[in-house]
């Protein structure tokens, strides 16, 4: 029953197979949920295709401007400065998300966490100084230098 000279015996192979079946059966619930999720999506797309009214009219594709007749196209080009400003805001907003919990448990974390936070804040401040020197934070001034 044990180990022969050519590898594991029949009992060890059967036990290994039973263990593999248990591992596969633990993923069965994930596969069932995945199947239901895919079925849900397919059913909803099919119902949408069957129920939706199709009346192609040019007015459906016009921009809607609060009841007024649209002037021009609905697409305009924004200055990239708006996006850069928004990204800088998100960066410092995320910084607050990391700093606030750290400040709450500051005394328990010790000197290592203090040094880590100093490094984190130094990197962010250097990024702010870089953006400031590049002129990104000036709203109505010269163009951004590359």
Q: Where are the beta strands (DSSP E) in 52-109?
A: none
Q: Which residue would you say has higher pLDDT here, 44 or 15?
A: 44
Q: pLDDT by residue (tens digit) across 52-104?
A: 888 778 777 776 767 777 777 767 777 777 888 888 888 888 888 888 888 88
Q: Which residue would you say has higher pLDDT here, 87 or 17?
A: 87
Token pair listed for 67: 């009841």
Residue with the two structure tokens 């797309």:
45
Q: Which residue would you say has higher pLDDT here, 79 or 12?
A: 79
Spell out a b/e string for 40-54, using b for 16 or more CB atoms within 10 Å of the CB, else e: eeeeeeeeeeeeeee
Residue 4, helix vs strand vs coil: strand
pLDDT of residue 143: 57
């Amino acid at each position: 029953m044990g180990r022969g000279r050519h590898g594991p015996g029949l009992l060890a192979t059967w036990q290994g197979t039973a263990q593999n079946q248990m591992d596969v059966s633990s993923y069965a619930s994930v596969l069932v949920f995945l199947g239901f999720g895919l079925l849900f999506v397919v059913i909803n797309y099919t119902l949408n295709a069957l129920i939706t009214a199709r009346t192609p009219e040019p007015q459906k594709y016009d921009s809607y401007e609060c009841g007024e007749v649209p002037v021009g196209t609905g697409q305009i080009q924004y200055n990239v400065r708006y996006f850069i400003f928004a990204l800088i805001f998100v960066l410092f907003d995320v910084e607050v998300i990391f700093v606030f919990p750290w400040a709450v448990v500051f005394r328990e974390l010790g000197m290592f966490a203090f040094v880590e936070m100093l490094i984190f804040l130094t990197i962010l401040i250097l990024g702010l100084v870089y953006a400031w020197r590049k002129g990104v934070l000036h709203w109505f001034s010269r163009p951004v230098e590359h």
